[in-house]
């Protein structure tokens, strides 16, 4: 795990500098794994995120916006009762273990001064946040552990808090270099990735003391990307031999965890929506196969008419009770076996074949209409699956709103998750040439961006013949660099994200039309140009996100 004890040491040090003596203004539980503390310190507002996610547990300051529930749950009310208005007295890490104790000074109902301690244990699937009073009695925790779950360490209200068992290891800041081929087992705070980096640097001639000094004094985060997987730490991971981007510590953590968090939050809180969209897509694919099979049978319905003709020509050969009859097919000179309904005579059986022929013939037009509608549904839900892949939490809520407006989902009258009202949110970026680029992340945003927000002279980009985001560049004339940049964005936020040589159409807004009665996100292009792009996310380094108004 990259968020190791060394990383937590750097985080705790910066938290001491930024929010020590700060006052808690508000507390939210934003998911089953996450708490968000709003802290006011030295005339600045900070957001402290504490996550006990099994894969992404961490604590950090964040500038990202997180959805908050419309009403607090019982745990949030309890935390607010004890901690809101309290001042952060200290932040202390236990040696270089992934355990931090935050001490708060507040007041109780009698206005007496009281001390509270919040323990953050970052230990993979066993991560937890425990709030205790000054007698070390647990007030509550984010994840309760009952005696039936663990007889040696109970974590539930009323129990006495005990630190988890510690493994005796050397302290790298105090004990110096000890020759070993596994630093993780020898020293506190070293993840396997950091262990490999230090051994690699030592092989290159760098001293252990110099490396440790860099770890102690670093205030940055270095993110390396290899095959769509990110590796990070507070020093460059040179053993990976890959390019990296440098950020301030908390900005880097935001950068790394932003998309991961969004996808996980969408999965947690809108999993039913993703499942519904996927099921509707599969249902319509299955329906299309059945319709096309029926259409094929209907187009070959002349066989029913031929059988009717042959039965009428051979009525003298048919008697009630027969299951089949062999007759000469005078259309091609072969013998044909015709199945019969033994309850009826030859004439009735012939008329039944004529009825099947007429029914199949009459159904052709209806089947063709149904096939066209089903293909539209498949394309629509396919586009929604693509949009969900790139959606933020609020983007997903707008997709749900769209489905409700179209009648696919029923609007619930119960309390809904709070979403700011007003116009759909559109992500806005600024290029190095100070040109604005807008990106719609769902169909409501796409429609609003293309037909309301954008000017007639703005340039519009969209992948060809596949679902994706509408991208609008606020400029009448574009150079090749900007065209390629906007095309990269359009290709990245599309179904062709992982393909190569993706075609992207671009044209001025004034050439676009909205098909009458069509679903959201549909447009008609008249005059356009096409460019072929290999999508990747390198464009994020060339643009700056400048607004998040609606969210």
Tell me: pLDDT of 38 over 90.
yes
| Strand order across the beta sheet in which 23-31 lies | 58-61, 44-51, 34-41, 23-31, 87-93, 99-107, 113-121, 128-132, 138-141
DSSP summary character for residue 525: -
Residue 550 pLDDT grade (very low, low, confident, very high; cuts 50, 70, 90): very low
Please check whether residue 353 lies inside any domain of the structure.
yes
Give the per-residue pLDDT at 415: 45
- What are 377-389's pLDDT values in tens digits? 999 999 999 988 8
Claim to verify: residue 213 and residue 235 sit in the same structural domain = yes
Give the per-residue pLDDT at 467: 92
Concatenated DSSP letters of 398-415: HHHHHHHHTTSSPPP-SP
- Residue 62 CB neighbour total at 10 angstroms: 18
Please check whether residue 416 lies inside any domain of the structure.
no
Residue among 61, 38, 13 nearest 254 (CA):
61
Contacts 24+ apart (CB under 8 A), 139-143: 139/78, 139/82, 140/75, 140/78, 140/79, 142/29, 142/33, 142/35, 142/52, 142/75, 143/52
> Of 235, 268, 301, which residue sits at a domain end?
268
Please, which residues have CB within 8 angstroms of residue 522's CB and are 6 or more apart in sequence?
A: 514, 515
Helix (H, G, I), strand (E, B) or coil at 21: coil
Claim to verify: residue 259 and residue 281 sit in the same structural domain = no
Please check whether residue 393 lies inside any domain of the structure.
no
Average pLDDT in the 184-200 region? 94
Give the per-residue pLDDT at 412: 66
Instruction: Tell me the C-alpha to C-alpha distance, in Å, between residue 524 and each of 121, 215, 457, 465, 490.
Output: 55, 56, 17, 12, 17
Give the per-residue pLDDT at 551: 39
Give the per-residue pLDDT at 296: 81
Give the per-residue pLDDT at 294: 83
- What are 447-485's pLDDT values in tens digits? 999 999 999 999 999 999 999 999 999 987 889 999 999
Give the tokens for residue 245.
Answer: 């981007």
Percent of the chain residues topping a pLDDT of 70 = 95
**Residues 455 and 509 sit within 8 Å (Cβ to Cβ):** yes
Average pLDDT in the 395-412 region? 86
- What are 85-134's pLDDT values in tens digits? 999 999 999 999 999 999 999 988 888 899 999 999 999 899 999 999 98
Task: Between 396 and 534, name the one with better pLDDT.
Answer: 534
Claim to verify: residue 127 and residue 224 sit in the same structural domain = no
Please check whether residue 174 lies inside any domain of the structure.
no
Claim to verify: residue 508 and residue 524 sit in the same structural domain = yes
Please check whether residue 318 lies inside any domain of the structure.
yes
Please, which residues have CB within 8 angstroms of residue 415's CB and are 6 or more apart in sequence?
A: 70, 71
- Give the structural domain span for 296: 275-387
DSSP summary character for residue 343: T
Give the per-residue pLDDT at 417: 46
Give the per-residue pLDDT at 166: 86
Tell me: pLDDT of 524 over 80.
yes
Claim to verify: residue 117 and residue 23 sit in the same structural domain = yes
Residue 416 pLDDT grade (very low, low, confident, very high; cuts 50, 70, 90): very low
- What are 234-283's pLDDT values in tens digits? 999 999 999 999 999 999 999 998 877 777 766 766 678 888 999 999 99
Please check whether residue 126 lies inside any domain of the structure.
yes
For residue 125, what is the domain's CATH number?
2.30.310.10
Q: Which of 296-310, 406-420, 484-498 has the lowest mean pLDDT?
A: 406-420
Token look-up 């992948």 returns 463
Percent of the chain residues topping a pLDDT of 90 = 64
Claim to verify: residue 17 and residue 129 sit in the same structural domain = yes
Tell me: pLDDT of 445 over 50.
yes
Could you tell me the end-to-end alpha-carbon distance of the chain, in angstroms, rounded to an integer?
Answer: 31
Please check whether residue 515 lies inside any domain of the structure.
yes
Claim to verify: residue 59 and residue 130 sit in the same structural domain = yes
Claim to verify: residue 130 and residue 211 sit in the same structural domain = no
Give bridge partners of residue 119 from the DSSP assignment: 101, 130
Average pLDDT in the 329-337 region? 89
**Residues 129 and 141 sit within 8 Å (Cβ to Cβ):** yes
**Residues 234 and 217 sit within 8 Å (Cβ to Cβ):** no
Claim to verify: residue 256 and residue 279 sit in the same structural domain = no
Claim to verify: residue 319 and residue 234 sit in the same structural domain = no
- What are 127-174's pLDDT values in tens digits? 999 999 989 999 999 999 998 888 889 999 999 999 998 889 999 999
Query: The pTM is what?
Result: 0.66
- Residue 167 CB neighbour total at 10 angstroms: 8
Counting the structural domains of the chain, the total is 4
Claim to verify: residue 363 and residue 328 sit in the same structural domain = yes
């Amino acid at each position: 795990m990259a968020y190791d004890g060394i990383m937590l040491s750097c985080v705790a040090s910066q938290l001491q500098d930024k929010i020590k003596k700060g006052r808690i203004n508000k507390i939210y539980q934003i998911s089953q794994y996450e708490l968000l503390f709003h802290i006011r310190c030295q005339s600045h507002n900070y957001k402290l995120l504490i996550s006990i996610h099994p894969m992404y547990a961490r604590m950090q300051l964040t500038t990202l916006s997180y959805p908050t529930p419309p009403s607090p749950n019982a745990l949030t009310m309890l935390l607010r009762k004890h901690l809101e208005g309290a001042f952060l007295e200290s932040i202390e890490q236990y040696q270089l273990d992934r355990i931090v104790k935050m001490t708060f000074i507040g007041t109780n109902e009698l206005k007496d001064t009281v001390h509270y301690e919040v323990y953050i244990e970052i230990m993979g699937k066993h991560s937890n946040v425990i709030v205790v009073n000054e007698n070390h009695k647990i007030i509550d925790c984010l994840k309760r552990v009952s005696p039936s779950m663990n007889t040696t360490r109970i974590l539930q209200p009323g129990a006495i808090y005990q630190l988890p068992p510690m493994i005796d290891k050397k302290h790298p800041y105090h004990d110096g270099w000890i020759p070993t081929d596994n630093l993780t087992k020898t020293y506190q705070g070293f993840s396997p990735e950091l262990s490999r980096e230090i051994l690699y640097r030592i092989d290159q001639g760098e001293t252990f003391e110099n490396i440790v000094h860099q770890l102690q004094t670093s205030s940055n985060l270095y993110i390396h990307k290899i095959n769509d997987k990110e590796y990070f730490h507070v020093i460059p991971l040179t053993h990976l031999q890959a390019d990296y981007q440098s950020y301030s510590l908390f900005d880097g953590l935001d950068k790394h965890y932003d998309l991961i968090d969004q996808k996980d939050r969408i999965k947690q809180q809108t999993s039913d929506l993703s499942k519904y969209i996927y099921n509707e897509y599969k249902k319509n694919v299955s329906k299309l196969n059945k319709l096309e099979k029926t259409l094929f049978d209907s187009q070959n319905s002349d066989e029913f008419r031929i059988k009717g003709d042959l039965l009428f020509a051979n009525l003298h050969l048919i008697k009630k009770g027969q299951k089949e009859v062999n007759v000469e097919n005078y259309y091609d000179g072969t013998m044909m076996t015709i199945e019969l309904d033994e309850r009826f005579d030859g004439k009735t059986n012939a008329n039944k074949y004529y009825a099947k022929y007429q029914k199949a013939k009459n159904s052709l037009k209806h089947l063709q209409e149904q096939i066209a509608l089903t293909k539209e549904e498949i394309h629509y839900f396919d586009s929604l699956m693509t949009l969900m892949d790139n959606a933020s939490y609020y983007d997903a809520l707008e997709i749900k709103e769209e489905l409700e407006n179209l009648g696919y989902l029923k609007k619930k009258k119960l309390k809904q998750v709070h979403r700011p009202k007003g116009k759909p949110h559109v992500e806005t970026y600024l290029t190095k040439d100070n040109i604005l680029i807008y990106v719609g992340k769902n169909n409501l945003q796409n429609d609003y961006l293309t037909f309301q927000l954008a000017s007639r002279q703005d340039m519009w980009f969209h992948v060809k013949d596949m679902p994706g985001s509408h991208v609008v560049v606020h400029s009448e004339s574009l150079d090749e660099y900007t065209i390629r940049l906007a095309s990269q964005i359009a290709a990245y936020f599309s179904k062709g994200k992982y393909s190569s040589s993706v075609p992207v159409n671009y044209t001025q807004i004034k050439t676009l039309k909205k098909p009458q009665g069509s679903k959201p996100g549909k447009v008609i292009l008249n005059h356009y140009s096409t460019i072929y792009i290999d999508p990747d996310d390198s464009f994020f380094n060339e643009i700056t996100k400048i607004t998040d108004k609606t969210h």
